[in-house]
């Protein structure tokens, strides 16, 4: 294996990326902070004397990502277009899970920025809490996912439930024309660059397939005392087990073994739709994912669904 950071004389160098193409680059990373249960509770309830631990750690992580080339000698200075830090409490494991996402458009990736972000955020959590829990442990600092460049999309296989990026296809629904409630089918053919076969939304445009969260449908039914089922919100696909609000424009969903959808739009104008006129409530205008088909294939109810990248 040739290491590109070593020159012909055996000395370290910064890799020349002049000839690489500018592409959208995204990376996600994770770090775990293990602590005593009472420490985790204190963080959640704001009981740390130094202040809001998560707020400070979030800012520190973002600053860490921006300072990566100052800390890691061979990293290129990048114009970051986005950095985000999120936290999850694992009560059973008495662990704070820290995840980051870094994004840029350029000639080299943002893996180091994402990893530095979670590292600095984790160190900040330790600093904020060490007075009450000196033996906290930081581990599992790792890249989760990267997108863009010559290597394309790569992701680490981790526990599906903790990542929240894998679920299943609850239902498939189609209608012959746009502006109608849809009927459920057991399986369907998804056509590259078009949409779902025999569905009125298929065509050469950016809203070929619409997706909604099954959990959102259940929530509306409970809150509004309704019994709205698959297709009645005029969606094509109901996806179960994934927080679709975390999938932005440019994000991709893989369904089954072959089909890949890319999000082109989140939400739309409700003017009012047949759904609103029928039920008095709607979901697609507020949280629907509108997608184009970048890889076609046959899909069926119950197929696995995976978030390839959040953008």
C-alpha closest to that of 69 among 30, 108, 26, 98: 108
Of the CA atoms within 13 Å of residue 117, those in its CB half-sphere come to 30
Which residue is catalytic, options 84, 127, 159, 204?
Answer: 127
The Cα–Cα gap between 244 and 239 comes to 8
Contacts of 291 (CB under 8 A, 6+ apart): 207, 208, 209, 210, 211, 253, 261, 262, 263, 264
CB atoms < 10 A from the CB of 56, how many? 17
- For the question of residue 303 being annotated catalytic, the response is no
Contact 208, 202 (CB under 8 A): yes
Name the token pair of 89.
């409490």
Q: At what angle do helices 53-66 and 111-129 cross, to 10 degrees?
A: 150
Where are the extended beta strands (E) located within 195-311?
195-196, 209-213, 237-240, 252-255, 259-266, 289-295, 297-300, 304-309
Rg (CA), the chain: 22
Known catalytic residues are: 127
């Amino acid at each position: 294996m040739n290491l590109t950071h070593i020159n012909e004389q055996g000395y370290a160098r910064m890799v020349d990326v002049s000839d690489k193409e500018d592409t959208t680059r995204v990376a996600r990373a994770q770090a775990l902070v293990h602590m005593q249960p009472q420490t985790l509770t204190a963080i959640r309830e704001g009981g740390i004397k130094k202040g809001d631990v998560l707020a400070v750690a979030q800012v520190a992580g973002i600053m860490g990502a921006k300072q990566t080339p100052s800390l890691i000698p061979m990293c290129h200075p990048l114009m970051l277009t986005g950095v985000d830090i999120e936290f999850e409490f694992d009560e059973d494991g008495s662990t704070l899970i820290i995840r980051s996402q870094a994004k840029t458009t350029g000639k080299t990736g943002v893996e180091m920025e994402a990893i530095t972000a979670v590292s600095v955020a984790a160190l900040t959590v330790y600093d904020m809490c060490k007075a009450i829990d000196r033996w906290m442990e930081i581990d599992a600092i790792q890249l989760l996912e990267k997108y863009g460049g010559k290597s394309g999309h790569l992701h680490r296989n981790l526990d599906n439930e903790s990542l929240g990026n894998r679920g299943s296809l609850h239902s498939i629904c189609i209608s012959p024309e746009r502006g109608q409630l849809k009927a459920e089918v057991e399986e369907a053919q998804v056509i590259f660059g078009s949409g779902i076969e025999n569905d009125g939304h298929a065509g050469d445009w950016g809203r070929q397939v619409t997706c909604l969260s099954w959990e959102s449908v259940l929530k509306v039914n409970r809150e509004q005392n309704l019994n709205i089922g698959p297709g009645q919100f005029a969606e094509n696909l109901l996806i179960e087990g994934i927080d679709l609000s975390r999938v932005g424009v440019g994000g991709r969903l893989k369904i089954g073994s072959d089909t890949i959808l890319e999000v082109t739009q989140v939400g739309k104008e409700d003017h009012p739709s047949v759904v609103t006129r029928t039920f008095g409530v709607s979901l697609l205008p507020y949280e629907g994912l509108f997608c184009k088909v970048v890889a076609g294939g046959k899909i069926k109810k119950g197929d696995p669904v995976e978030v390839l990248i959040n953008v």
